Amino acid sequence: MPAVDVNGLPALEVRPYRVLITGFGPFSRYAINPSWLAVKPLHNTILHIDLPTEPITVDDQTPMPEENSFIQDVRDIHLTTLQVPVTYEGVLAIVPGLHARPPVLPSSTDPDLPDIIPPPDGFDLIFHVGVAGRGPLRMERVGHKFGYNMKDATGCLAPIVRVTRDESSNPNRGQSEPSEMERMERARLIEYDIDAPVDGTEPPKRGFGKGYESFPEEIFTEIDVEKLVHHLKKSGIEQIYSSLDAGHYLCDFIYYCSLAESKRASGKADKSTTKVLFLHCPPVDQPLSTEEVTEAIKQSVIWLYGASKCTLSST
């Protein structure tokens, strides 16, 4: 039976928000990636959020009469999860399809989860989660185009980016010094670090080349990460901070790819239809439990859609 308002009139149906949350697959010592452990419980769940009741306008000027101005005061957020391999090739093969209309999704790699039926008009938010070293949660603000000098889970490196004639003739064009987060990633994943050239020359520039020429070296998320982190701290999730360095490994790689593809799909350089976010979580119980990370993900999604209350249910 369709919903009705207090006057007995049909309530207008409101399309649920559609959110895709990705975690990574196994690699290194992680037979099951801690990010996937935190993401998987949210698969095929619905957050019910309260929306303010407000008049419906037929144009920018004229509101409908008050007795007919009912709009559904609950809007659902439908969560879907997807496991992504810890490989550069896998990210480049999968992520562009996530931003298509309708999305093109790979078959599920988790035997417990069925294949995903994507929403015809795409996702409103794509929330990527990956594991970092011991410590607090890190909500990332920016993805980087170049500097991917560590091997992935299959021992492969990111694509080599062709440099311009001016760059190749510039004696100072060499690789920048690794950032603190990148050094931490290299120390944590020493078996995946790049092999230095035997002749002592500079390693080639690696990252996003063909197809990504028009995108800048850094892309920031359109989400106000500082406000989100502040809200989470006030909500009791204290071990979290915002970050400008996603580590120049697969986490950074998927973040940049997704941010770029979101802008490509929208056709606008300044605003995207699908918002993109990335969260780094620690290994299990170092110091946060899987359940605490899952709750932080859920509370982040709730905040993004302005909800004051919600319940979680399985479909």
DSSP 14-55: -PPEEEEEEEE--BTTBSS-HHHHHHGGGTTEEEEEE-----
pLDDT at 11: 52
Query: Which region among 58-62, 185-189, 294-298 has the lowest average model confidence (pLDDT)?
Result: 58-62
pLDDT at 267: 82
Per-residue pLDDT at 114: 87
- Region of poorest pLDDT, from 109-118, 226-235, 268-277: 268-277
**pLDDT for 115-166, tens place per residue?**
888 999 999 999 999 999 999 999 999 999 999 999 999 999 999 998 665 4
More confident residue, 262 or 305: 262
Per-position b or e across 219-235, b if 16+ CB within 10 A of its CB:
bebbbebeebbebbeee
Burial (0-12, 13-18, 19+ Cβ within 10 Å), 42: buried
Mean pLDDT of the chain: 83
CATH number of 17-55+70-164+177-314: 3.40.630.20
| Residue found under tokens 């007795």 | 67
The domains of the chain are located at 17-55+70-164+177-314
As a whole number, mean pLDDT of residues 17-34 equals: 95
The answer to whether the beta carbons of residues 181 and 247 sit under 8 Å apart is yes
Which residues, including other chains, have CB under 8 Å from residue 215's CB and lie 6 or more apart? 145, 208, 260, 263
Q: Which helix (H) or strand (E) holds 98?
A: helix 88-98
Task: Please compute the mean of the pLDDT values over residues 227-245 and round it to a whole number.
Answer: 96
Residue 8 — left, alpha, or beta (φ > 0 → left; ψ -120 to 50 → alpha)? left
Amino acid at position 244, single letter:
L
280 in Cβ contact with 131 (< 8 Å): yes
The answer to whether 147 and 204 have CB atoms below 8 angstroms apart is no
Q: What is the pLDDT of residue 115?
A: 86
Residue 210 has pLDDT above 50, yes or no: yes
Give phi and psi for 210, each to the nearest 5: -55, 130
Half-sphere exposure of 49 (CA within 13 A, CB side): 23
pLDDT at residue 62 greater than cutoff 50: no
pLDDT of residue 190: 56
Spatial strand order of the sheet with 137-140 comes to 240-243, 137-140, 275-281, 125-131, 17-24, 74-84, 45-50, 312-314
| Token representation of residue 73 | 């005061």
3-state secondary structure of 26: coil
The span from the first CA to the last CA of the chain, in angstroms, equals: 19
β-strands 17-24, 125-131 pairing: parallel
Q: pLDDT band for 195, please (50, 70, 90 cuts).
A: low
User: What pLDDT is recorded for position 28?
Assistant: 86
Residue 183 has pLDDT above 90, yes or no: no
pLDDT band of residue 202 (cuts 50, 70, 90) is confident
Residue 245 pLDDT grade (very low, low, confident, very high; cuts 50, 70, 90): very high
**More confident of the two residues 178 and 33:** 33
pLDDT of residue 179: 63
What's the confidence (pLDDT) of residue 70?
43
pLDDT at 198: 53
Neighbour count for residue 162 (Cβ, 10 Å): 12
Whether the link from the prior residue into 119 is cis, omega within 30° of 0, is no
